[in-house]
Structure 1
Amino acid sequence: MEAKKTSQSKTIMTDLVLPPDTNYHGTIFGGNVMAYVDKVASIVAMRHSRAMVVTASSDSLDFISPIKTGEAICLEGFITYTRKTSMEVYVKVEAEDLLTGEKRLTGTSYLTFVALDENGKPTTVPPIIPESEEEQWHYEGAIERFEQRKKRRDARKERQNQKGE
């Protein structure tokens, strides 16, 4: 299977934060940000694999600063690494003051998706070719993040097995 460049699946989404999207502090609900992140990451994974995908894990969503009513929420996602049937996706969330053009980082997240064939079974995905320094940095750290996920899954399985005894 031929490798694909990161730019071939990179996805950018922007939306305006309105009062119904916010809490009593006038900042966007965290759950709304999570939904945006999952949506953008899903599009990235589908563009890369050209297959249906499911979210296998979300490592974290680190909230760095709030996004206020009237600001734009800007999300950028790209594939950071692939295995046989899975893809790690990085999503960066920024706020933009639409009057000044000032942007600030408000969140980051890594998610893992599995590509599915027409029968709902995992299917092979193309390798990724990182292009920028940022993409290369995420690519180089992917194996360590994969190992951390595996340890977390194994520990959870072990706890479940101990409870079942």
Structure 2
Amino acid sequence: MENKKDSRPINFSRTTITELMIPSYANFGGKIHGGILLSLMDKVAYACASKHSGAYCVTVSVDTVDFLKPVSVGELVSLKASVNYVGNSSMVIGIKVISEDVKTGKVNHTNTSYFTMIAKGDDDKPFTVPKLILETPTDLRRFVEAIYRRKFKRSYGESLKDIKSHWEDEDIKALLKNERCINKADL
């Protein structure tokens, strides 16, 4: 299905969600569960992607979720999302997560992540998304970085598949020699 809008600038769909971190989101140490943050990131990715595409969107992959700093109960978490790349029906949504201690004013960058979303039409088939208008050097850099991340991801998958098809028992034993495991399995 073809989208009626041909192109949109990044600012059209830029989305921020801010939420208070409450005790039910936390572990026994008072730190917010990673799963809560992932759920919020998925929510902001959906909002951003659906706004750009004008369609229902689903998450197909999540890249590089590194928890850089913990988030505590009582902090405000802001999730800032923008479309970094578009394909035919796919979009890469860049997400930056910021925590803020409202009492001290201390702000921490806690996560950066990339969600790949697919737009779907009413018929549940892929939906062609508008082209992305790149207006700043940052827009251009993010778009190009997304292209390279896709290439690296594809290359990684192909390399791992190749390695798995050729490894020998001796290779595995050598690989595991200095690792913290006890191997009782046979391939």
4+ residue runs of structure 1 moved beyond 4 angstroms? 152-162
Q: Counterpart in 2 of 1:77?
A: 81
Q: Counterpart in 1 of 2:59?
A: 55
2:18 to 14, 17, 21: 14
1:1-165 to 2 correspondences below 5 Å: 2-154=6-158
Q: What 5-or-longer segments of structure 2 have no aligned partner?
A: 167-187
TM-score (norm 2): 0.79
* 3-state SS of 1:91 partner: strand
* 3-state SS of 1:28 partner: coil
| Number of residue pairs the alignment of both structures matches | 162
TM-score (norm 1): 0.88
Q: Highest CA radius of gyration, 1 or 2?
A: 2
Identity of aligned residues (%): 33
Indicate if the aligned counterparts of 1:80 and 1:130 stay in contact, CA closer than 8 A.
no
Give, as a single letter, the amino acid of the residue that structure 2 aligns with 1:119: D
1:14-71 deviation line (CA, Å, top 9, x unaligned): 1111111111121100000000011100111100000111111111211110111111
Indicate if the aligned counterparts of 1:28 and 1:67 stay in contact, CA closer than 8 A.
yes
Distance in 2 (alpha carbons) for counterparts of 1:9 and 1:95: 22
- What is the root-mean-square deviation of aligned Cα atoms in Å? 2.1
Distance in 2 (alpha carbons) for counterparts of 1:105 and 1:132: 23
Give, as a single letter, the amino acid of the residue that structure 2 aligns with 1:67: V
Indicate if the aligned counterparts of 1:81 and 1:88 stay in contact, CA closer than 8 A.
yes
Give, as a single letter, the amino acid of the residue that structure 2 aligns with 1:55: T
Compare 56-65 and 98-107 and name the one that shifted more: 98-107
* 3-state SS of 1:43 partner: helix
